Chain A
């Protein structure tokens, strides 16, 4: 591997990274079903970026990855790698590494032969191959397993071999399709750390597919959130969590209390279920959909509870609530509430020091207008 140590050190500042830019330009894939699997997606993945394609099952993540890899043909649009249109280049000439959920190691080859495979296809010489294989096996912490066959390794080890094999030829980018999906929880978080470390060390572009929001939040520089064939929102994990543009995004990442508004004027106070609430203009999503249908979203950790309406601070938005259930989570507890006349389900996360709440207690839940977010619904 010829990665540069100075690049490693400054890995988090874009612009100094090596790696390939991947640009999807109005990309569509239609299998002839009711709706296209991928519908007019445009997305630019920066050189060296860790981009996660997140979304529910069937939202088009794998299809998008396969389009980038060249395993599927485009119905419309172009795919551009570092400025070169590769839309019609077959997968074996795109020079992109790929990692699969099912490892896809060659069962008739040893670990070393598996890892050497892409180098032999590129006619590297024997000494070079041996050196690179040893180097990359060390990188994935599998030194000494060269002569094992895949069947003799655990799932986690097999995925490390697959990872070594996918990066040993220094591909322009690494595409990962739920690579940790088949592993148990502990192994998954261990390998998450590993993948993050290797991303830093090799400095190339990673495109990572998952439907696990926690995984996406942990690993990514940016997340592209998919929803039935289109991209709902692209941004850093913090942006997606704190500044969702749509109700779909707010619901997909983390828990939220949702108050649907329908079509509402958003420039002054508004009323919901008889309550009058204030709006902070900075919290209104830029999404054009907010003007036709919107909703208020409040994260459970931003909701406080008090016993009486007169305890709510001035300027806060409040709603009457009843405790439906209490979840104890150690340092804090989550109150499951029913809110307002409409008996809407909601949650508030309160500190364990806050005192006791029993099921059936009547409370008032409140939050600051700047803690809420008004999104397109």
Chain B
């Protein structure tokens, strides 16, 4: 449908045309929203991966009630309904003047992305032999150096998977973004939402196709990397 030549939505699509893609890439509104989304998603991926990995490593060393409690707390954002999280975030961010700002989006998205990183890094740590850290320390490496030279390379797949999930969680998150949006700053899912509810803009079909392609490519990254690693 995104290749349709018609000026409104029509099924079956009539004729083949790049017009909607042309619209997308020439419209400042759509391009801005894409740029905003990419920026927020990248920063979210960075922050959530750092926080999630640190939490996973710390929790892997701790046992007992406190560790279980912290783990549950960190998992809350994915089990709580999106709207509940969104309202909670909105109310607290209003007070902190974070609505409509990049840090606001990034913080809110990080909160819902951290659990994905936590799960994937915890999974990778399950296969990691903690005894290697003892060997590393005996060879003169500080805990931080041991993490960089031993732990991280051996759980890199889990970290990468977590980062990709975090990116995608942020990239197509719409509920919180709707609450946080300002006239100056909208992410692409919000713009897509607008284009079907407020305006009837068929450019959305190009936008959504692009989104699907982008997300698919990102998901394929680890597969490709794995293939390369194996050939080595």
Contacts and interface: CB of A to CB of B under 8 A. Distances in A.
Contacts of A117: 136, 139, 141, 149
Contact of A102 (B131, B138, B141, B153): B131
B139 A71 contact: no
A104 B132 contact: yes
Contacts, number: 61
Contacts of B143: 92
B142 interface: yes
B137 interface: yes
User: In this complex, which of B134, B138, B145, B150 has the most chain A Cβ atoms within 10 angstroms of its Cβ?
Assistant: B138
Nearest to B138: A98
Interface of A: 69-71, 90-93, 95-98, 100, 102, 104-108, 117-118, 121-122, 162, 165-166, 169, 175
Closest 6 CB pairs of A and B: A104-B135, A98-B138, A118-B139, A121-B140, A91-B137, A92-B137
B38 interface: no
Contacts of B142: 90, 92
Nearest to A113: B149
Interface of B: 129, 131-132, 134-143, 145-146, 149-150, 153-154
Contacts of B139: 92, 97, 117-118, 121, 165-166, 169
A121 B145 contact: yes
Given A100-B131, A121-B145, A108 B137 contact: no
Contact of B137 (A71, A122, A162, A175): A71
B154 to A, nearest CB: 6
21 contacts: A90-B142, A91-B138, A92-B137, A92-B139, A92-B142, A92-B146, A95-B140, A100-B131, A102-B131, A104-B134, A106-B132, A106-B136, A117-B136, A117-B141, A121-B139, A121-B141, A121-B145, A162-B135, A165-B139, A166-B138, A169-B140
Contacts of B138: 69, 91-92, 96-98, 166, 175
A120 B187 CA distance: 46
B99 to A, nearest CB: 44
Contacts of A104: 129, 131-132, 134-135
A105 B154 CA distance: 12
Given A90-B137, A92-B137, A100-B131, 17 more contacts: A69-B138, A71-B134, A92-B138, A92-B140, A95-B140, A98-B135, A102-B131, A106-B132, A106-B150, A108-B153, A117-B136, A117-B139, A118-B139, A121-B141, A122-B140, A162-B135, A169-B139
A61 to B, nearest CB: 16
A102 B140 CA distance: 19
A175 B141 CA distance: 17
A238 B172 CA distance: 75
Nearest to B133: A104
Contacts of B129: 104
A97 to B, nearest CB: 7
Contact of A92 (B132, B141, B150): B141
B135 A108 contact: no
B147 to A, nearest CB: 12
